[in-house]
């Protein structure tokens, strides 16, 4: 039996890469939206987690500000409407923000930055070991 977690904070534990409980295993759904933090976390399991994992994935170029509540919009902070890519980069570089890489169990920020200024995250080995032990025990 395959396991698929639809909750983004648990999705990296799924058997498939898509955030929608494994629909990427169904023919025709291979091209799901991959410019997302959950996809980057999953693709770097056990390694340093960097924005480079999703940098070249497609993202819409228009603004998403009008679809977000006023507390989440960054357009007013940067003086223009913000793209999906800009929202994801902000969330990536703001440790502790809901949906940032360190909101995933076992992921923590480092003091490192990539040459383009993006924060580097790492896995906490004891937390991941405890999680694997719990999964294997059940």
The gap between the terminal CA atoms of the chain, to the nearest Å, is 14
In 3D space, the residue among 21, 45, 37 whose CA is nearest the CA of residue 106 turns out to be 45
Domain-located, residue 3: no
Which has the minimum average pLDDT: 11-15, 37-41, 107-111, 112-116? 11-15
Domain-located, residue 116: yes
State which residues form the domain around 45.
11-137
pTM for this one? 0.81
Total domains present in the chain: 1
Domain-located, residue 102: yes
Per residue in 47-101, pLDDT tens? 999 999 999 999 988 887 777 777 777 777 777 778 889 989 999 999 888 889 9
Per residue in 2-32, pLDDT tens? 676 767 667 777 777 776 666 777 788 777 7
Domain-located, residue 59: yes
Sign of CA dihedral 70, 20, 53, 103: positive
Domain-located, residue 64: yes
Domain-located, residue 6: no
17 vs 23: CA distance, rounded Å: 9
């Amino acid at each position: 039996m395959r396991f698929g977690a639809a909750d983004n904070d648990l999705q990296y534990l799924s058997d498939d890469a898509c955030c929608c409980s494994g629909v990427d295993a169904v023919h025709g759904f291979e091209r799901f939206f991959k410019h997302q933090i959950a996809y980057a976390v999953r693709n770097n399991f056990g390694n340093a987690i960097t924005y480079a994992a999703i940098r070249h994935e497609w993202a819409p170029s228009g603004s998403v500000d009008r679809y977000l509540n006023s507390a989440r919009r960054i357009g007013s902070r940067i003086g223009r409407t913000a793209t999906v890519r800009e929202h994801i980069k902000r969330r990536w570089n703001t440790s502790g923000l809901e949906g940032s890489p360190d909101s995933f169990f076992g992921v923590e920020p480092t003091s490192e930055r990539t040459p383009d200024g993006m924060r580097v995250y790492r896995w906490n080995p004891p937390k991941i070991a405890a999680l694997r032990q719990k999964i294997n025990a059940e």
